[in-house]
Structure 1
Amino acid sequence: MNFQLTEEQLMMRKMVRDFAKKEITPFINRMEAGEFPREILKKMAALGLMGIPIPKKYAGAEMDFMSYVIAIQELSKASATIGVILSVHTSVGTNPILYFGTEEQKQKYVTKLASGEYLGAFCLTEPGAGSDAANLKTRAVRTGEYFVLNGTKAFITNGGEADVYIVFAVTDPTKGQRGISAFIVEKTIPGLVIGKDERKMGLCGSKTVQLTFENMKIPVENLLGVEGEGFKIALANLNVGRIGIAAQALGIAEAAYEAAANYARERKQFGKAIAKQQGIGFKLADMATAVEAAKLLIYQASDLWARGIPCAQQTSIAKLFASKTAVEVATEAIQVFGGYGYIKEYPVERYFRDAKITEIYEGTSEIQRIVITKNLLKK
């Protein structure tokens, strides 16, 4: 296993870093005020960032999976909001159609998603079905050439802004998990009710909404995959989704560490830079160690996934550790800044607010531990 980045991957990292500095950083205050970064996404589309790992035949950049992970990581260093918008759009908004869709569906939807013309979203979670994802109440009933969709989805990232939604609903309530199907749902189909945009602790520029489907008529040709295999489709995208969020967490942690280290070099107390005070120096050492370990775990999981090797355990370990690292490093960064770390003029309080969600979405830390335990007991 060689984690030495290729020339192409280094070019991706530099391009995204330069873009983030020039375009995203000046936009942060607008996102913090609640503005969705539509104009940033348009600029990302022009650079090919909305379809990094998608084949060129479907309007993607056809770059390797590690380049995609690096892009999420670097974008999230500047803005975790941008990182999660892209991760959801690609990992669980586009990939399900790419992997399970018909050629007609790929030509119709993946091309527009990969080019950035469309934004994607993923609708699995419901008010009563979070970690217990199979406990869905949303129903899709076949009526002639349509499925009539009724139900409510909660905490949908990109909700209301997305043009295409991957929606999971029960088509046969007698079959449990095997009675769940997946659908490609266009925003323009009558029957979609967009609920309130949740006021969140962090990720203030992203949209997190409740969606209600009221007698929405979905054409039969918008069934994704085979009827009854929806839960299989959802599970198949968990690994790539969790790697994306782990990369987001890594970006947050790196940004927090770098901000703390730079501040500690400049801030003087008791006649010397606080970085030279052992109490602060040890904090920085622990932060740097955790960030590097998280990076290696994520790169390992990414490498396995890209090579088609089963990696549920490695992915859960990476997601668990990276999210924990993001929260702990952001917390310690505030401590290094002292009182200034609690003030919005400095970025570390934003890293702290953005970090927490990485322990919750795409599978809570408790769910990751369950996955890890199950895999350990198989051996």
Structure 2
Amino acid sequence: MDFEPNQEQRALAERAFELGSALNGGLAERVRAGRFDRDMWRRCGEFGLLGLSVPTADGGLDLDSLSTSLVIEAFAKGCQDLGLLFSACAHLFACAMPIAEHGGPELRTRLLPRLISGEWIAANAITEPEAGSDVHALRTTAIRDGADYVLNGVKSFVTNGPVADHILVYASTNPADGHFGLSAFVVDRHSPGLTVGPSFAKPGLATSPLSPIYLDDCRVPAANRLGAEGAGSTIFGSSMAWERTCLFAAYLGSMDRQLAQTIAHVRTRRQFRKPLSRQQAVAHRIADMKLRLESARLLLYRACTRRDRGMDSTLEVSLAKLAVSEASIQNALDAIQLHGATGFLSEGGVVDALGDALPSTIFSGTSEIHRDLIARGLGL
């Protein structure tokens, strides 16, 4: 497979890198405050970042998986605020794409233009206190009542929850049917019965807000359901295929930027009368960082390409997600080690990459889940 970007892909990626670089101002202050910046969000919308893969008929750029990943990777290489990009990817892949692929005409017309432009922010609510990896054990219910559904339940770890205008909620419409009984609903933030809990404090992705939401007899119009009753599992699976490839391109860009920063440091930092880069132990660690990055990149590009060709990519997507997430953690640890004491200081930003990387082996399926999927793909 040839993954060399064409001229159009390269030009769009270069523009994404420039935008990402332009959004680094005031980063340290935003990270310390854990502040989500709506002005920056709108700038992402103006560029098209919030609608990369959405069909042009709905206002997006209609990019395929590989092109979308190349743009996100380039943005992350330029932008040190991975929290902003993480929120944008959650908004696009876990919310806008399900609406674009499974929403009715009225719902798409009403929501997508404003989600793509950055006027509105979307959040995805599936995880529950007792249902993390086991998404089919959801306890949130949606009971039909005339022209509405009445939703009850608690969702945890909702990315963008504190700032979202619309929340995509997965609930059981028929608990007896298990995963065939899940349905997906777009819920307006201001719906009576919906309460957003306080933001969670966390050591990474600081500018990406995260919170629980509570649904207490929350009425949602049946027109806000995506697809048919019981289609929730399929809708979620489709959104995860986007997320597990394209979102993780952000970590490729972050690792690329981190590697360049670390190489620059070891070339200029002198110990024992020579640059650190001349120490074999240092050079070998740098080589391992490069190896992990390029291996993960090739696996992710291959997974995207197979998806774009309509081929079964379950195994390839899990391989890519696992490789990228685990490489991002190890590379962050290596970068800290090679920067020495300064790598542990918040001011340098080196240690921030570790906090950003740590949850990558948990969300979008834990590393253990993906090893199970890989084993299943091998017939084990």
1:24 paired to 2:24: yes
Q: How many residues align?
A: 378
Calculate the aligned-residue CA RMSD, in Å.
1.4
Is the Cα–Cα contact under 8 Å of residues 240 and 305 in structure 1 kept in the other structure?
Answer: no
1:25 Cα deviation after fit: 4.5
275-284 or 67-76: which moved more? 67-76
Distance 1:226 1:208 in 2: 29
Match of residue 110 from structure 2 = 108
Structure 2 counterpart SS, 1:337: helix
1:3 paired to 2:19: no
Is the Cα–Cα contact under 8 Å of residues 95 and 124 in structure 2 kept in the other structure?
Answer: yes
Distance 1:110 1:23 in 2: 24
Distance 2:178 2:21 in 1: 48
Structure 2 counterpart SS, 1:174: helix
Distance 2:49 2:28 in 1: 19
Structure 1 counterpart SS, 2:137: coil
Q: How high is the TM-score relative to the length of structure 2?
A: 0.96
Distance 1:325 1:32 in 2: 26
AA matched with 2:281:
G
Is the Cα–Cα contact under 8 Å of residues 155 and 212 in structure 2 kept in the other structure?
Answer: yes
1:86 paired to 2:93: no
Match of residue 332 from structure 1 = 334
Is the Cα–Cα contact under 8 Å of residues 25 and 79 in structure 1 kept in the other structure?
Answer: no
1:40 Cα deviation after fit: 0.6
Deviations 1:222-265 (A, max 9, x none): 11100011112111221111113321222232222221111011
Match of residue 251 from structure 1 = 253
Match of residue 13 from structure 1 = 13
Residue correspondence of structure 1 range 294-313 to structure 2 within 5 A:
294-313=296-315
Residue correspondence of structure 1 range 172-187 to structure 2 within 5 A:
172-187=174-189
AA matched with 2:255:
A
Structure 2 counterpart SS, 1:147: strand
Distance 2:44 2:2 in 1: 29
Match of residue 65 from structure 2 = 65
1:367 Cα deviation after fit: 0.7
Deviations 1:29-58 (A, max 9, x none): 313321112111111111122111222221
- Deviation above 4 Å: which 4+ runs of structure 1? none
AA matched with 1:316:
S
Distance 2:73 2:84 in 1: 10
Is the Cα–Cα contact under 8 Å of residues 127 and 154 in structure 1 kept in the other structure?
Answer: yes
AA matched with 1:290:
R
Is the Cα–Cα contact under 8 Å of residues 141 and 149 in structure 1 kept in the other structure?
Answer: yes
Match of residue 147 from structure 1 = 149
1:28 Cα deviation after fit: 4.3
Is the Cα–Cα contact under 8 Å of residues 253 and 327 in structure 1 kept in the other structure?
Answer: no
Q: How high is the TM-score relative to the length of structure 1?
A: 0.96
1:38 paired to 2:38: yes
* Identity fraction in percent: 33
Distance 1:209 1:167 in 2: 14
Distance 1:75 1:204 in 2: 18
1:24 Cα deviation after fit: 2.8
Distance 2:44 2:27 in 1: 14
8-17 or 86-95: which moved more? 8-17
Match of residue 138 from structure 1 = 140
Residue correspondence of structure 1 range 183-194 to structure 2 within 5 A:
183-194=185-196
Is the Cα–Cα contact under 8 Å of residues 55 and 62 in structure 1 kept in the other structure?
Answer: yes
1:71 Cα deviation after fit: 2.6
Match of residue 206 from structure 1 = 208
Distance 2:190 2:28 in 1: 30
Is the Cα–Cα contact under 8 Å of residues 252 and 355 in structure 1 kept in the other structure?
Answer: no
Deviations 1:313-350 (A, max 9, x none): 10110000001100000100011001111111212100
Deviations 1:117-167 (A, max 9, x none): 221211110010000110001011111111001111000101121212111
Deviations 1:80-120 (A, max 9, x none): 21221111111111111111111222112222222222212
Distance 1:71 1:39 in 2: 20
Distance 1:198 1:22 in 2: 28
Gaps of 5+ in 2: none
Structure 1 counterpart SS, 2:298: helix
Gaps of 5+ in 1: none
AA matched with 1:168:
Y
Deviations 1:179-233 (A, max 9, x none): 1111111112221101010000101111110000111110111111000111121
1:72 Cα deviation after fit: 2.2
1:6 Cα deviation after fit: 1.1
Distance 1:261 1:157 in 2: 33
Match of residue 96 from structure 1 = 98
Distance 1:130 1:194 in 2: 19
Structure 2 counterpart SS, 1:308: coil
Match of residue 353 from structure 2 = 351
Distance 2:42 2:32 in 1: 19
Distance 2:31 2:39 in 1: 11
Q: Find 1:128's aligned residue among 113, 127, 130.
A: 130
Is the Cα–Cα contact under 8 Å of residues 245 and 362 in structure 1 kept in the other structure?
Answer: no
1:351 Cα deviation after fit: 0.6
Q: Find 2:243's aligned residue among 241, 244, 252.
A: 241
1:158 paired to 2:160: yes
113-122 or 318-327: which moved more? 113-122
Match of residue 377 from structure 1 = 379
Deviations 1:338-375 (A, max 9, x none): 11111112121001111111111111111110111111
